[in-house]
Amino acid sequence: MEGAKAAIARRRAAPGPDVISDLIRVRDGDRLSETELVTLVWQLVLGGQTPANLIANAVEALLAHPDQLAAPRADPDRLDLARDEAAHLGYAHGPHFCLGAWPARLQVRIALTALLRRSPGLAPAKTPERMPDPGTWRLASLPVVL
């Protein structure tokens, strides 16, 4: 939050062609409260970390279910990438739908495709470690053999 406040103060003093300056213009035109402005900027920064968590979580899930890399199967209790796409709330819903959903999806798709293409023998090296975090589901480490 302190970082978000500092970034806002910098752009207020010297606005530029960036999303924070645009948000400040809206805020100062009275369409956002200061709290909304600060939390939006904070979420933009935090959002930068979430695709990295998702990529590591996806690699962990794929390594734990190698059948999904070989021949996807339909079974409600299994990770099943071939299942019909159902609506989900991963990026929320409604007016606060994630601003970064599309870049996040693209980033994850590119990272996983490149990793699996370059390392077709990708395999777990040790048991992954989870990082306790009340806000996100993240790994502290995911040792693999490339």
Asked if 111 interacts with ligand HEM (CB under 6 A), we say no
| Residue in the shown chain whose Cβ atom is closest to ligand HEM | 100
Q: Which stretch binds ligand HEM (CB under 6 A): 10-18, 38-46, 113-121, 122-130?
A: 38-46
Cβ burial of 99 (10 Å; 0-12, 13-18, 19+) is middle
Is the CB of residue 15 less than 8 Å from the CB of residue 27? Answer: no
The smaller minimum CB distance to ligand HEM, of residues 37 and 128, is found at 37
Is the CB of residue 53 less than 8 Å from the CB of residue 62? Answer: no
The smaller minimum CB distance to ligand HEM, of residues 52 and 144, is found at 52
The smaller minimum CB distance to ligand HEM, of residues 72 and 100, is found at 100
35 to 38, 40, 41, 57, 98: CA distances (angstroms) = 5, 8, 10, 31, 18
Is the CB of residue 91 less than 8 Å from the CB of residue 97? Answer: yes
In the list 44, 79, 115, 144, the residue contacting ligand HEM (rule: CB under 6 A) is 44
Asked if 72 interacts with ligand HEM (CB under 6 A), we say no
Asked if 104 interacts with ligand HEM (CB under 6 A), we say yes
Asked if 100 interacts with ligand HEM (CB under 6 A), we say yes
Is the CB of residue 89 less than 8 Å from the CB of residue 97? Answer: no
Compute the least distance from the CB of residue 119 to ligand HEM, in Å.
22
